[in-house]
């Protein structure tokens, strides 16, 4: 059964690219195979893939004649992507690259995705499709409340909104009072944010005594962290808006991979640009629709950094059947978990190992530490507890304060999230015997 | 390279003709599309038909920052329904200044930014590391659009997270660095900490701006990074970065005067000063659609020359910024007005209107802004925790308004020296 | 002569001060002066004891982060204006005080004050020149 707000019943279905969004299934699969030939040819220009594909007898894209052939290609892992950083996964001349984005890896080594002009164009095209599927039009004023720069959330949606012809306010994240002021002043109708930030915005609206009638908000696109149906309901009721889910990952551009349409019943994944597979994370076996497993993606149109069968480590399932909106592209459910220990803190992906790596660089603190997560209002609060190392303790408060600050800045530089660093007495945190509990997550589920 | 050769090297007579023609069409445009200018012209009895050439521009009224603020958000706009992008910049009080662009304006911005990059020595195919802030601040996206226009490879780093910036520089070998001059110096400290030799950096050209800096700082940056350090000028009321840029001769900043017409005036009388004399820089935007401005007073003090430059560009050149006509300060590229701080403080119970902004540059070349605030007796507690919380509250509010991090220091009543005339609000200890 | 002060890192947690004091007591160490500097999430206990080296050893063995710092202890006349007199001397000598605290035990009719200076040698010179009595280990045995 689809979930609908009453006011939405008379909404019309908009397409940014009707032809390609409503293809029939058979044709779509043919299209995928055609594009796959090109993708594999492109991938063969990368040393890593050349070795791997030649090893299983694939010398050219034309050797992939069916999905059965495709499924013989081994998976690509995040570690493999990182292993040949920085230029290992670049398959075009650097002169043809117009942009690159890096994202933090599980340790110090980042992953990098290169984009040609066509890649950027396609990415904008996909985010435009997404937002239009969720009802945005060129009449909308779009306040983009996610980080700009290397983080893909900002620029990704920015280009799509521009493509639709919306008025874009590149607000970036944070600075909540100013965000609300701009919503009032510029009559913002659509926002893009993380769900926790949207809840925080609501808290501040209440705190500042702002009447909802002063705002013109109609829609929110929320993604980058997991949240439940009850949070959507809550935000929709509180703010009198419609909330749509978004899913993406930087290895697959960023936002613009999967997005809900106005029926809010699963996220359409643009299968003419990505091959979507769900696998059993243990056996690697491809699962049928409806079964829970790990998402695996293959890029279909990317020139600069093609990636074959990438294991996302995100868990979900594919919905059976076609959506009432008429789109052929299959829908995935919300992300229900991870196959690794990655944390999502205020929309940023964080691995405990990244924090550990920073802590180990400071002789003033011991090797025991704890990562403590709580909610402060709607926002996540990250506290990193470390122990003072007796031999390095000088007795001056100012030194301790500066130590706290240096560690906090360093962690921020590594993971983009601002932590509070807490100093503890030696031996007061759990000792790392075997698997110490390093992460204490006391956040209430969204 | 000279990006727009035809316009940038046009002989002065032809340029003047272009300017005259564009001024006339601009006046026609604003009179018919901006209520603000229509009212202003009608009130002051200005007939746009009387303006025959660019020389008549002095007969027209100025536009000020107050005009922008008083008509916030949409008052000065010509046609808001066609806005493609909205930015804001700091206003003198609570209200920010709105910066809006139509699709054509973004095109204009891309063009002048490509000219800027070319002027600094960039060429298609170069890799650029953009370390100006992205988002509402115009620095990041301005450079982004220009680099895209020219066909560079963009690394959209945005500002901050220095260790990552340096790692990216090592890994991707960008030829061009765009950031504030103080951040360029700041990064050198971290580079040394990481065991890098800054002189071996891949950067060959730096495009530094968004804050005033001196020739001695230029020498320091050039020697530290082994880089050609050029100065870029811009302000969001005109377009953002992309108003003027030094060529590789580094003898003044070329103003893109076919689109942004510069004048230098005596800030008191409003009359033009002689060529080469210091005065307030005033700009008219000929072709901008969303917020065209006529004779906008920048409050920046510069001098200007019309002598032709060796590089072949014919446009006039302005000096580095020599001062301000108001008390605005620039901290890490962000414009700060003391009145903004005051606006925050009056809304916080327990503070007094006695405050001071102390700006300094740390040994690591990072600008620091300390806000000293006298607080009422009743705020003092014997628990440090409570005082810290109060400090943090003020700090959060100020940071939220300014978008730059500050340190708040609570002072006892009557500890800021009282002056008889105008209160001293800013103590700038930086040696710029 | 410079004297030794113990600084002990303490979390803001119930019972921690008791833990330190009872440990010192068990080891027969007497606290002569103490103060606590608090911040939002931790504190530093600063204390002058009769046997600092032994105290340090006991604390380390029990896992506390502790350190010894140089301080200057000065005899102050126990009457109105007594402390002000010392402070004037320091002020005139351009000496900066980082912090100070008082002794809990009275050894003579006068009071003892513990000072931490950023430049203790210079402070000692100024104080001595002005005839101020500097406390040594012998005075507090």
pLDDT at B92 over 70: no
Tell me: do B358 and B270 sit in the same domain: no
Together in a domain, C65 and C78: no
Residues A110 and B172: their CA atoms lie apart, in Å, by 12
Judge: B98–A185 Cβ closer than 8 Å, yes or no.
yes
Architecture label for domain A1-340: 3-Layer(aba) Sandwich (3.40)
Q: How far apart are CA B316 and CA B238, in angstroms?
A: 17
* Closest by CA position to C130, among listed C89, C76, C91, C100: C89
Contact B73 A186 (CB under 8 A): yes
Residues B284 and B333 in one domain: no
Of A175, A182, A413, the CB nearest to B163: A413
> Using H for helix, E for strand and C for coil, what is the string for C32-62?
EEEEEEECCCEEEEEEEECCHHHHHHHHHHC
Domain extent for C54: 3-70
Does B322 lie in the same domain as B271? Answer: yes
Task: Output the six-digit token pair for A77.
Answer: 């892992």
Residue range(s) of every CATH 3.30.300.30 domain in chain A:
343-445
User: What pLDDT digit, counting tens, does each position of B42-78 carry?
Assistant: 999 999 999 999 999 999 999 998 888 787 766 667 7
In the complex, which subunits touch C with 3 or more CB pairs below 8 angstroms? Answer: A, B
A250-287 per-position pLDDT tens digit: 999 999 999 999 999 999 999 999 999 999 999 999 99
Higher per-residue confidence, B432 vs B161: B161
Pair (B68, B187) in one structural domain: yes
Number of domains in chain B: 2
How near does any CA of chain B get to the CA of C73, in Å?
25
* CA-based nearest residue in chain C for residue A366: C65
Sign of CA dihedral A421, A427, A430, A434: positive
Q: How high is the pLDDT of residue A163?
A: 96
Interface residues from chain C to B (CB-CB < 8 Å): 38-40
Neighbours of chain A (3+ CB pairs under 8 A): B, C
Chain C residues with beta carbon closer than 8 angstroms to that of A363: none
Single residue among C70, C88, C112 that ends a domain in this structure: C70
The radius of gyration computed from the CA coordinates of chain B, to the nearest angstrom, equals 22
Select the residue from A88, A107, A145, A149 to test the B interface by mutation, using most B Cβ atoms within 10 A: A149
Given B276, B310, B326, the domain boundary residue is B326
Size of interface A-C (CB pairs under 8 A): 55
The CATH superfamily label for domain A343-445 reads ANL, C-terminal domain (3.30.300.30)
Residue C66 lies in a domain: yes
Candidate from A95, A100, A149 with C-beta closest to B140 = A149
The confidence band for A105, taking pLDDT boundaries of 50, 70 and 90, is low
Co-location of C64 and C80 in the same domain: no
Angle, CA B330 vertex, CA B328 and CA B336 arms, to 5°: 50
- Is the pLDDT at A2 greater than 50? The verdict is no
What residues of chain B lie within 8 A of the CB of A185, using their CB? Answer: 72-73, 98
* Same domain membership, residue C54 and residue C14: yes
A178 and chain B in contact, CB less than 8 A = yes
The C-alpha R_g of chain A, in whole angstroms, comes to 23
Helix axes B138-150, B103-120, angle to 10 degrees: 80
How close is the nearest chain C Cα to the Cα of B384, in Å?
6
Say if residue B206's pLDDT is above 70.
yes
- Tell me: do B322 and B291 sit in the same domain: yes
Neighbours of B307 (CB within 10 A): 10
> Which of A395, A427, A428 is the closest to C44 by Cβ?
A395
Chains near B with 3+ CB pairs less than 8 A apart are: A, C
User: What span, in angstroms and rounded, lies between the C-alpha atoms of A234 and A240?
Assistant: 10
Q: Is there a contact between A93 and A65 (Cβ–Cβ < 8 Å)?
A: no
Answer with the one of C70, C104, C122 that is the final residue of a domain. Answer: C70
- pLDDT tier at B316 (50, 70, 90 boundaries)? very high
Give residue-wise pLDDT tens across range A228-240. 888 899 899 999 9
Strands B296-302 and B323-324: antiparallel
User: Residue A221 and residue A235: Cα distance in Å, rounded?
Assistant: 12
Average pLDDT, chain B: 91
Residue A432: pLDDT over 70: no
pLDDT digit string, tens, across residues B227-248:
999 999 999 999 999 999 999 9
Residue C141 lies in a domain: no
Q: A100 contacts in B (CB within 8 Å)?
A: 153-155, 172
Find, among B253, B254, B261, the residue nearest to B294 by Cα.
B261
Report the residue of B85, B106, B166, B347 to disrupt the A interface, i.e. the one with the largest count of A CBs within 10 Å: B85
Q: Give pLDDT, residue A7.
A: 46
Q: CB count, 10 Å around CB of C8? A: 26
Residues B305 and B338 in one domain: no
| Whether residues B206 and B111 fall in one domain | yes
Q: How confident is the model at residue A5 (pLDDT cuts 50, 70, 90)?
A: very low
Domain count, chain C: 2
B58-73 CB burial, b ≥16 within 10 A, e <16: eebebbebebbbeebb
Which of C70, C94, C125 is the last residue before a domain boundary? C70
Among A130-139, B297-306, C66-75, the minimum mean pLDDT is found in C66-75
- Residue C20 confidence (pLDDT) above 60: yes
Query: Is the confidence at residue A433, as pLDDT, over 60?
Result: no
ipTM value of the model? Answer: 0.82
Q: What is the mean pLDDT of residues A344-368?
A: 86
Q: Which residues of B touch C40 (CB under 8 A)?
A: 384-385, 388
Q: Which two tokens stand for residue A222?
A: 């929320």
CA atoms within 13 A on the CB side of C67: 18
In-domain check, residue C79? yes
One domain, residues C43 and C86: no
Enumerate the residues of chain B whose CB falls inside 8 A of the CB of residue C39: 384, 388
Give the span between the Cα atoms of B156 and B164, in whole angstroms. 12
Q: Please tell me whether residues C8 and C65 are part of one structural domain.
A: yes
- Residue B16: the pLDDT is 96
Q: A169 and B85 in contact by Cβ < 8 A?
A: yes
Q: Please indicate whether, in this complex, the C-beta atoms of A393 and C7 are within 8 angstroms of each other.
A: yes
Structure tokens at A133: 């599927």
With CB atoms and an 8 Å threshold, state whether C11 touches A388. Answer: no
Q: Is it the case that residue B403 has pLDDT exceeding 90?
A: no
pTM of the model: 0.83
Q: Which domain holds residue B418?
A: 329-428
For A336, A344, A346, C5, the CA distances from A352, given in Å and listed in that order, are 20, 11, 15, 39
User: Does B83 share its domain with B112?
Assistant: yes
CB within 8 Å: C63 and A389: no
Are B301 and B321 contacting, i.e. CB atoms less than 8 angstroms apart?
A: yes
Specify the CATH number for the domain of residue C86.
3.30.70.260
Tell me, yes or no, if A167 comes closer than 8 A to chain B by beta carbon. Answer: yes
Give the C-alpha distances (Å, rounded to integers) separating B17 from A141, B133, B258, B289: 39, 38, 10, 21
User: Using CA of residue B323, residue B324, residue B329, residue B332, what is the dihedral sign?
Assistant: negative
**Is there a contact between B388 and C38 if contact means CB atoms under 8 Å apart?**
no
Residues C16 and C61 in one domain: yes
Say whether B400 and A171 touch across the interface (CB within 8 A): no
Which tokens in the block code for residue B395? 């700090």
User: What's the gap in Å between the CA of A416 and the closest CA on chain C?
Assistant: 24
In chain A, CATH 3.40.50.12780 covers: 1-340
Q: Which pair of tokens denotes residue C54?
A: 């032994």
pLDDT range class, residue A3, cuts 50, 70, 90: very low
Q: Are B159 and B20 in a shared domain?
A: yes
Q: Please give the biggest Cα pair distance in chain C.
A: 45
Whether residue B412 is found in the same domain as residue B284? no
Q: Average per-residue pLDDT in chain C?
A: 90
CATH number of the domain enclosing B350: 3.30.300.30
Residues B349 and B382 in one domain: yes
pLDDT at B424 over 60: yes
What string of DSSP letters covers chain C? --EEEEEEEEES-TTHHHHHHHHHHHTT--EEEEEEEE-SSEEEEEEEES-HHHHHHHHHHTT--EEEEEEEEEEE-SSTTHHHHHHHHHHHTTPPEEEEEEBSS-SSSSEEEEEEESSHHHHHHHHHHTTPPBP-GGGG-
> Quick check: A133 pLDDT over 70?
yes
pLDDT at C68 over 70: yes
- B331 pairs with which residues across the strands? B334
Is pLDDT larger for residue A8 or for residue B204?
B204
Task: Tell me which chain C residue has its CA closest to the CA of residue A401.
Answer: C39
CATH number at residue B313: 3.40.50.12780
Span A377-420, pLDDT tens digits: 778 899 999 998 887 888 888 888 889 999 998 898 888 888 99
Q: For position C26, which CATH number holds?
A: 3.30.2130.10
Q: For chain B, which residues lie within 8 Å of any Cβ of chain A, measuring from their own Cβ?
A: 72-73, 83-88, 96, 98, 125, 127, 134-136, 140-141, 148, 151-158, 161-164, 167-168, 171-172, 400-401, 403
- Both B105 and B190 in one domain: the answer is yes
Which H or E run contains A413? Answer: helix A397-415
A423 inside 8 A of chain C by CB: yes
């Amino acid at each position: 059964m689809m979930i609908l707000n009453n006011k939405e019943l008379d909404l019309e279905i908009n397409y940014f690219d009707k032809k390609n969004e409503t293809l029939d299934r058979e044709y779509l699969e043919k299209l995928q195979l055609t594009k796959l030939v090109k993708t594999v040819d492109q991938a063969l220009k990368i040393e890593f893939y050349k070795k791997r594909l030649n090893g299983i007898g694939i010398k050219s894209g034309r050797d992939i004649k069916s999905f059965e052939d495709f499924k013989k290609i081994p998976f690509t892992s995040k570690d493999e992507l990182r292993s040949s950083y920085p230029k290992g996964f670049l398959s075009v001349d650097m002169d043809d690259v117009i942009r690159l984005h890096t994202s933090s890896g599980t340790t110090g080594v980042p992953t990098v995705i290169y984009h040609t002009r066509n890649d950027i164009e396609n990415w904008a095209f996909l985010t435009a499709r997404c937002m239009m599927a969720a009802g945005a039009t060129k009449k909308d004023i779009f306040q983009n409340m996610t980080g700009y720069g290397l983080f893909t959330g900002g620029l990704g949606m920015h280009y799509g909104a521009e493509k639709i012809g919306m008025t874009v306010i590149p607000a970036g994240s944070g600075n909540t009072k100013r965000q609300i002021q701009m919503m009032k002043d510029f009559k913002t109708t659509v926002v893009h944010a993380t769900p926790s930030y949207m809840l925080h915005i609501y808290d501040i609206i209440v705190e500042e005594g702002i009447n909802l009638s002063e705002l013109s908000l109609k829609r929110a696109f929320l993604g980058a962290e997991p949240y439940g149906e009850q949070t959507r309901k809550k935000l929709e009721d509180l703010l009198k808006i419609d909330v749509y889910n978004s899913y993406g990952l930087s290895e697959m551009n960023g936002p613009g991979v999967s997005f809900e349409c106005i029926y809010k019943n699963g996220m359409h994944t643009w299968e003419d640009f990505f091959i979507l597979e769900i696998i059993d994370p243990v056996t690697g076996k491809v699962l049928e629709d409806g079964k829970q497993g790990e998402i695996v993606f293959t890029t279909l149109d990317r020139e600069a950094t093609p990636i074959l069968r990438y294991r996302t480590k995100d868990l979900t399932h594919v919905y059976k059947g076609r959506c009432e909106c008429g789109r052929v592209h299959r829908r995935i459910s919300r992300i229900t978990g991870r196959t690794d220990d990655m944390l999502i803190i205020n929309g940023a992906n964080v691995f405990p190992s990244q924090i550990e790596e920073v802590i180990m660089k400071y002789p003033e603190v011991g090797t025991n530490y704890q990562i403590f997560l709580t909610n402060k209002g709607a926002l996540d609060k990250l506290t990193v507890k470390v122990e003072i190392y007796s031999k390095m303790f000088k007795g001056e408060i100012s030194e301790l304060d500066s130590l706290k600050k240096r560690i906090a800045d360093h962690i921020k530089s590594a993971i983009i999230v601002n932590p509070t660093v807490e100093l503890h007495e030696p031996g007061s945190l759990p000792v790392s015997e075997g698997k110490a509990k390093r992460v204490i997550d006391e956040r209430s589920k969204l | 390279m000279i990006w727009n050769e035809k316009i940038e090297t046009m002989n002065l007579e032809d340029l003047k003709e272009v300017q005259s023609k564009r001024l006339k069409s601009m006046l026609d445009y604003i009179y018919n599309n901006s209520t603000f200018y229509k009212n202003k012209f009608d009130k002051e009895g200005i007939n746009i038909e009387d303006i025959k050439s660019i020389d008549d521009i002095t007969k027209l009224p100025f536009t000020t920052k107050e005009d922008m603020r008083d008509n916030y958000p949409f008052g000065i706009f010509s046609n808001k329904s066609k806005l493609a992008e909205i930015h804001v910049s700091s206003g003198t009080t609570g209200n920010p200044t709105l910066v809006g662009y139509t699709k054509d304006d973004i095109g204009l911005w891309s063009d002048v930014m490509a000219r800027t990059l070319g002027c600094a020595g960039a060429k298609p195919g170069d890799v650029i590391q953009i370390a100006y802030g992205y988002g509402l601040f115009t620095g990041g996206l301005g450079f982004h659009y220009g680099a895209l226009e020219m066909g560079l490879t963009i690394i959209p780093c945005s500002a901050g997270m220095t260790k990552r910036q340096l790692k990216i520089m090592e890994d991707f070998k960008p030829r061009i660095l765009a950031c504030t001059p103080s951040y360029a110096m700041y990064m050198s400290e971290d580079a040394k900490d990481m065991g890098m030799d800054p002189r071996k950096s891949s950067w060959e050209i730096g495009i530094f701006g968004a804050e005033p800096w001196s020739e001695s700082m230029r020498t320091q940056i050039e020697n530290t990074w082994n880089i050609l350090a050029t100065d870029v000028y811009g302000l969001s009321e005109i377009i953002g970065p992309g108003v003027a840029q030094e060529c590789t001769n580094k003898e003044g900043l070329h103003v893109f005067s076919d689109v942004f017409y510069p004048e230098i005036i005596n800030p008191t009388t409003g009359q033009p000063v002689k060529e080469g004399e210091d005065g307030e820089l005033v700009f008219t935007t000929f072709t901008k659609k969303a917020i065209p401005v006529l004779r906008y007073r920048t409050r920046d003090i510069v001098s200007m020359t019309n002598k032709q430059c060796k590089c072949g560009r014919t446009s006039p050149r302005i000096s580095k910024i020599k001062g301000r006509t108001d008390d605005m300060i620039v901290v890490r590229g962000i414009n700060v007005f003391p009145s903004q701080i005051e606006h925050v403080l009056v809304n916080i119970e327990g503070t007094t209107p006695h405050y001071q902004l102390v700006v300094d540059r740390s040994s690591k070349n990072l600008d620091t802004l300390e806000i000293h605030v006298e607080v009422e007796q009743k705020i003092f507690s014997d628990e440090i925790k409570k005082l810290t919380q109060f400090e943090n509250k003020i700090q959060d509010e100020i940071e939220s308004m300014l978008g730059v991090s500050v340190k708040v220091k609570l002072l006892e009543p009557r500890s800021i020296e009282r002056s008889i005339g105008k209160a001293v609000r800013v103590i700038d200890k930086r040696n710029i | 002569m410079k004297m030794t002060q113990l600084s002990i890192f303490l979390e803001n947690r119930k019972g921690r001060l008791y833990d330190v004091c009872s440990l010192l007591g068990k080891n027969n160490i007497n606290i002569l002066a103490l103060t606590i500097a608090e911040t939002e999430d931790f504190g530093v206990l600063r204390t002058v004891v009769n046997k600092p080296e032994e105290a340090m050893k006991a604390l380390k063995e029990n896992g506390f982060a502790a350190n010894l710092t140089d301080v200057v202890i000065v005899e102050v006349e126990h009457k109105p204006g007594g402390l002000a007199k010392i402070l004037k001397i320091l002020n005139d000598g351009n000496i900066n005080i980082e912090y100070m605290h008082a002794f809990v035990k009275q050894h003579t009719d006068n009071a003892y004050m513990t000072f931490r200076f950023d430049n203790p040698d210079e402070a000692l010179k100024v104080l001595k020149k002005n005839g101020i009595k500097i406390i040594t280990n012998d005075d507090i045995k």
